Structure 1
Amino acid sequence: MDIILGIKTADSVIIATSKAATRGISVLKANDDKTRQLTEKSLMAFTGESGDTVQFAEFIQANVQLYSMRENVELSSKAISSFVRNQLAQSLRSRKPYQVNVLIGGYDENKEIPTLNWIDYLGTNIELPYAAHGYAAFYTFSLLDRHYKPTMSTDEGLELLKQCIKELTTRMPIDFKGVYVKVVDKDGVKEIDF
């Protein structure tokens, strides 16, 4: 029942995740942050089986930081996405595969462009202008298809996100306790009071 949304604008990536941690129809926690900051300008949002998600997110975060310390270079969003995809693909061939779906938002300083990657539990990795995992995909893609523009500003992206959240609160049969919204741009990752 998790909601993970990502929108790439002309100068940033907006990531929204539901606050509720649920198990079946029960809300276990009302302020669960389903994101991890991987580098100064990259952010990973995740959803899936509760044990797998936290373990996998911490594993990725630790390995990205370890690589940065060893090589004295920060990984790009594209490199991080490839690493995450590779880890999910390898785990798929093990006895206990991770059941985790991921969105990776980042800002590439070299090209001065934001990137948004959609990665599923099967190891499929694709860069998209907007993406969603979970039930959010069913309810919001029609809005995103209709109103998304590649040249939109961050403020316009946040307005589109408000429309998506309104649609989710209207149509979803559960209370997902609101959303955490984080923006990744040239200045780094910041949380938006939404």
Structure 2
Amino acid sequence: MDTLIGIKGKDFIVLGADSYCINSIIKLRNDDNTKFYDINGKKCLLLGGSVGDRTQFGEYIRKNIHLYQYQNSTDMYVKSFAFYTRKQLAYYLRRNPYEVNCLIAGHDNQSGYQLYWCDYLSNMDAVNKGAHGYGGYLANAILDKYYHENITLEEALLTFKKCFEELKKRFLLTQISYELRIMYDDKIETQYVTV
């Protein structure tokens, strides 16, 4: 029941997720912060799925990226980070699958800002906008309508607000509290939004 949304502009990325922890028909928490995994201030992994899979897979990826950087004395490119995450999902798909959907974002000097969409079956693609979860069915239509190639940060935040208002009005679950990660100028800023 998670809602994950991402928009990439020329010099920024905005990621958003509802702040609820839900199991079946039970709301467990209203302030869940286990969906975002910031890595070195330049990369972010946004996960949706059951809280156990999210936590285990997110920590596994974060710790292995740190191990790679420690062993090689270099930072991993965003594209390499995305493909590593996809490879791990594919590896565990036939063993002990993690049922998580991902939005992978980051910035490096080689390729600038990048956003990747990856589902629990390890299908992945580089995208400019994307959404996961049941809320994604409604959010994708709004992203298609308001996204354009030269979108500014203000327009992206307004598009997120329109997505959140549409979810509040039409989605079965009441999702009124969201957490945003705004990546720009080589930093990640956190905002909390209540609709």
Same fold (TM over 0.5): yes
1:149 corresponds in structure 2 to 148
2:183 corresponds in structure 1 to 184
1:144 and 1:177 mapped to 2: Cα distance? Answer: 19
2:135 corresponds in structure 1 to 136
Structure 1 stretch displaced more, 114-123 or 182-191: 182-191
Secondary structure of the 1:68 match is helix
1:28 corresponds in structure 2 to 28
Q: Alpha-carbon deviations, 1:154-178, whole Å to 9, x = none? A: 1111111111111111111212341
Gaps of 5+ in 2: none
TM-score scaled by structure 2? 0.94
Alignment of 1:157-172 (within 5 A): 157-172=156-171
Q: Indicate yes or no: 2:84 matched with 1:86.
A: no
CA RMSD of aligned residues (A): 1.2
Secondary structure of the 2:5 match is strand
Q: Are the equivalent residues in 2 in contact too, given 1:107–1:186 (CA < 8 A)?
A: no
TM-score scaled by structure 1? 0.95
1:63 corresponds in structure 2 to 64
1:125 Cα offset (Å): 1.1
Structure 1 stretch displaced more, 184-193 or 1-10: 184-193
1:146 Cα offset (Å): 1.2
1:3 and 1:68 mapped to 2: Cα distance? Answer: 31
1:75 corresponds in structure 2 to 76
1:46 and 1:123 mapped to 2: Cα distance? Answer: 13
Matched AA of 1:6: G
2:41 and 2:71 mapped to 1: Cα distance? Answer: 17
Secondary structure of the 2:114 match is strand
1:150 and 1:63 mapped to 2: Cα distance? Answer: 34
1:186 and 1:109 mapped to 2: Cα distance? Answer: 12
1:193 Cα offset (Å): 4.1
Percent sequence identity over matched residues? 29
Alignment of 1:119-134 (within 5 A): 119-134=118-133
Q: Alpha-carbon deviations, 1:129-182, whole Å to 9, x = none? A: 101110122101111111101211111111111111111111112123410001
2:71 and 2:152 mapped to 1: Cα distance? Answer: 36
1:49 Cα offset (Å): 2.1
Q: Which has the higher contact order (CA 8 A, sep 6+)?
A: 1
Q: Are the equivalent residues in 1 in contact too, given 2:178–2:192 (CA < 8 A)?
A: no
1:39 Cα offset (Å): 2.5
1:12 corresponds in structure 2 to 12
Q: Alpha-carbon deviations, 1:82-102, whole Å to 9, x = none? A: 0000000000121x2111111
1:50 Cα offset (Å): 2.0
* Structure 1 runs, 4 residues or longer, greater than 6 Å off: none
